[in-house]
A = this chain, B = another copy of it.
Amino acid sequence: MASTDAAPRPPAPSAGDDAPRTPPPLVADPAALRAFLDGPYASVRDDVRARLVDHAPILDERVDLPRAELRRRVRDLVVEIGRQGQAVHGFPTAYGGGGDIGASVASFETLAYGDLSVLVKSGVQFGLFGGAVLQLGTARHHDTYLPDILSGRLLGCFAMTETGHGSNVQAIGTTARYDPGTDELVVTTPDDSARKDYIGNAAEDGELAVVFAQLEVAGEQHGVHAVLVPIRSAGEVLPGVRIEDCGAKLGLEGVDNGRIWFDGVRVPRANLLDRFASIEDDGAYRSSIENPDRRFFTMLGTLVQGRVSIGGAAVGASKVALEIAIRYGLRRRQFESATEGEETLLLDYGMHQRRLLPLLARTYALSCAQEEVARQLHEVFSADTPEADDRARRALESRAAGTKALATWHATRTIQECREACGGAGYLAANRFAALKADTDVFATFEGDNHVLLQLVAKGLLTDYSSEFEDLDQFGMVRFVTGLAVETVIERTAAHQLLERIRDVLPGGRDGWDQEAGLLDPDYQLAMLRFREEHQLAGVARRLKAGVDAGRPTGEVFSRVQDHVIAAARSHVERLVLEAFVERVRALPESPARDVLTALSDLYALTTIEADRGWFLEHGRLSAPRSKAITREVSEVLRRLRPVAGELVEAFGIPAEVLGARDLVG
């Protein structure tokens, strides 16, 4: 039962040698835990907390505001965020920014404690719209637009998704044809399936749009490029542009999503965002990246911050739900115990602990994973030569995709469980869950559908970031089967190699490691997750090869292996998440907070293994008795953590005014 990690716990205070070793009770210091969660940007987060308190009234008011008024309130808040210079952390100092991408992500994550329409609309304005101008444009675009964008004077859209293509955006239908006669680009929506759809800021407020379109120069197609197209002036939609309101949505009602059609709208050639490709004065198309697929994915890759941000927002929303549900569970009593004379606290029920505390542990784990992906984002994007280290970029993109998928699904599941754990009171809009549930629901879809993102992760693993990258369709997962260097993959993951790789990661490289190691040994936990990931990946490669060798159509081969692909990617990301958590905890000095976090890390690791114990049993990595022992150990850890549950949510640092739900939390 004792942990065997680097800094061993002190021996239990009581007991002779024969007595079972009972670890001492955990003692939680919310300030220390908060410092752990807040990480290097604690002061940035505190600034956002203070501003959220100022804006807290919207959380109550939105409950009864009609959509039109809510949109206005949200727009005013976003403009205010711009005017106060709060949205500039990640932009270059030359444009009044802070030049600190890590700060920008920390700020966004913390903003997710508040109203999520404000979060998403500011994400559209400063992250997607401003980010596209910054990343895809060049100095003249920066000089012309960034000051107004960052200050909230110029609201705009990121017009990529079309009705017909949301996931496979490389196949969008909007066209931008260069007309050398007038030196203009002509932007056209060829049919309804190519209308831009679900575009934030489009229905009411956006004046300028970054429009993604198939660029045609001198009769030649060059793939998807971004063009700045004015869509509104002084509140009036411009000629040639048609806009329709997407109307009521499941959530995020404060964001004005809309559809846009372009009917031969002409803009100057200078409106092409030309960092990666340009039309020269002589009318010739020129790009530093030869391969059109690679060019497209390089452009997309610069926008990865959006995914990192949404993952962080999902973790933030999960924290709000968990704090409400756990504090309710620490106040609410129901059903009398025969021996105890008063009704029992909800959180003293074993089932209630089982429902909530593993989600809490996973939230802490995902917080650490978010911090790691944000750190990598900061590193890659702060480098002087962004095209330089392709490998680091692709590792970042894969990690961002995977973390976003797991974090957003986690939010959906956590908010649902917390709502149910608060009973009828949880159903009242005043108690936050209505908004949390509705607003986060689309997180699984936007910034990349989660299943598509996990396929992207899997493909990266299969190709091992090989030089085949340029030939692969990064998003389309059917085509990749033929594009894939199957032989290479098979070689890499052949059975004996697999075993060697696994042995490398084992505690001490022993045989039988997985039957002897302590369940609370993080090296054991990590080795289990690494084994699963490698084994599943090898299985995918083997199945792909078998299907291709048998001459089956690639579509069918892919379809049959797709659930294995998703499973392998998920396993990979769960391993990354555990690694991030374990490494952060290991880096702490010995302290009561470290003991609490170690228990939480154990809980995340063991419930993750337990949830897939069928797989580990099938593959000989768990015996039946050991599998049952894991479940018993989980129960033990839950009981150890129960007394510090309140401090664990207090550590989120959600101001009371922002948390709301006063009926529930008291």
| Neighbouring B residues of A171 by C-beta, 8 Å | 336, 343
Stoichiometry, as copies per complex, reads 2
Contact A563 B350, beta carbon cutoff 8 Å: yes
Contact B339 A553, beta carbon cutoff 8 Å: yes
Contact B339 A554, beta carbon cutoff 8 Å: yes
A121 → chain B closest CB, angstroms: 15
Say whether A512 faces chain B, with CB atoms less than 8 Å apart: no
Q: In the docked arrangement, what's the CA distance between A652 and B240, Å?
A: 45
| Neighbouring B residues of A612 by C-beta, 8 Å | 614
| Neighbouring B residues of A613 by C-beta, 8 Å | 614, 617-618
| Neighbouring B residues of A450 by C-beta, 8 Å | 420
| Neighbouring B residues of A412 by C-beta, 8 Å | 416
A532 → chain B closest CB, angstroms: 14
Say whether A357 faces chain B, with CB atoms less than 8 Å apart: no
Say whether A442 faces chain B, with CB atoms less than 8 Å apart: yes
Q: In the docked arrangement, what's the CA distance between A563 and B634, Å?
A: 12
Q: In the docked arrangement, what's the CA distance between A69 and B427, Å?
A: 21
Say whether A165 faces chain B, with CB atoms less than 8 Å apart: yes
| Neighbouring B residues of A620 by C-beta, 8 Å | 624
Please name the residue on chain B nearest to A555 by beta carbon: B337
Identify the interface centre among A163, A478, A560: most chain B CB within 10 Å of its CB.
A478
| Neighbouring B residues of A482 by C-beta, 8 Å | 338-339
| Neighbouring B residues of A349 by C-beta, 8 Å | 558-559, 562
Q: In the docked arrangement, what's the CA distance between A495 and B223, Å?
A: 69
Q: In the docked arrangement, what's the CA distance between A562 and B620, Å?
A: 30
Contact A350 B483, beta carbon cutoff 8 Å: no
Say whether A351 faces chain B, with CB atoms less than 8 Å apart: yes
* From B338, B437, B442, B617, contact of A250 by CB (8 A): B437
| Neighbouring B residues of A478 by C-beta, 8 Å | 335-338, 344
Q: In the docked arrangement, what's the CA distance between A93 and B612, Å?
A: 55
Q: A168-B334, A250-B419 are in contact. Are A427 and B445 (CB under 8 A)?
A: yes
| Neighbouring B residues of A51 by C-beta, 8 Å | none
Contact B351 A563, beta carbon cutoff 8 Å: yes
| Neighbouring B residues of A344 by C-beta, 8 Å | 478, 555, 559
Please name the residue on chain B nearest to A449 by beta carbon: B423
A426 → chain B closest CB, angstroms: 8
* From B247, B420, B481, contact of A429 by CB (8 A): B247
Say whether A135 faces chain B, with CB atoms less than 8 Å apart: no
Contact A167 B423, beta carbon cutoff 8 Å: yes
Say whether A153 faces chain B, with CB atoms less than 8 Å apart: no
* From B427, B428, B627, contact of A614 by CB (8 A): B627
Contact B555 A247, beta carbon cutoff 8 Å: no
Say whether A451 faces chain B, with CB atoms less than 8 Å apart: yes
* From B428, B444, B618, contact of A420 by CB (8 A): B444
Identify the interface centre among A163, A442, A482: most chain B CB within 10 Å of its CB.
A442
Say whether A508 faces chain B, with CB atoms less than 8 Å apart: no
Interface size on A, residues (CB 8 A): 88
Q: In the docked arrangement, what's the CA distance between A166 and B433, Å?
A: 19
Say whether A485 faces chain B, with CB atoms less than 8 Å apart: no
Q: In the docked arrangement, what's the CA distance between A334 and B165, Å?
A: 7
Say whether A510 faces chain B, with CB atoms less than 8 Å apart: no
Q: Map CB proximity to B onto A413-445 as digits: 1 under 8 Å, 0 otherwise.
A: 000100110011111111001100110011011
Contact B338 A483, beta carbon cutoff 8 Å: yes
Q: In the docked arrangement, what's the CA distance between A424 and B250, Å?
A: 10
Q: Which of A546-593 contact B (CB under 8 A)?
A: 553-555, 558-563, 565-566
Q: In the docked arrangement, what's the CA distance between A481 and B610, Å?
A: 28
Contact B351 A566, beta carbon cutoff 8 Å: yes
Contact B350 A423, beta carbon cutoff 8 Å: no
Q: In the docked arrangement, what's the CA distance between A351 and B558, Å?
A: 10
Say whether A242 faces chain B, with CB atoms less than 8 Å apart: no
Please name the residue on chain B nearest to A565 by beta carbon: B351
| Neighbouring B residues of A338 by C-beta, 8 Å | 478-479, 481-483, 554-555
Please name the residue on chain B nearest to A559 by beta carbon: B350
Can you offer 7 A-B residue contacts whose CB atoms are under 8 A? Answer: A166-B334, A250-B426, A336-B479, A344-B478, A351-B563, A614-B614, A617-B618
Residues in A lying within 8 Å of B, measured CB to CB: 63-64, 66-67, 161, 163, 165-168, 171, 197-198, 246-251, 334-340, 343-344, 348-351, 354, 412, 416, 419-420, 423-430, 433-434, 437-438, 441-442, 444-446, 449-451, 475-479, 481-483, 553-555, 558-563, 565-566, 610, 612-614, 617-620, 624, 627-628, 635
Besides A248-B428, A335-B479, A350-B563, 11 new A-B residue pairs in contact (Cβ under 8 A), listed by A number? A166-B334, A247-B428, A337-B479, A338-B555, A349-B559, A350-B559, A350-B560, A416-B416, A423-B449, A426-B445, A613-B618
Top 8 closest pairs, chain A to chain B, by CB: A248-B429, A337-B555, A250-B434, A614-B614, A613-B614, A617-B617, A351-B562, A350-B559
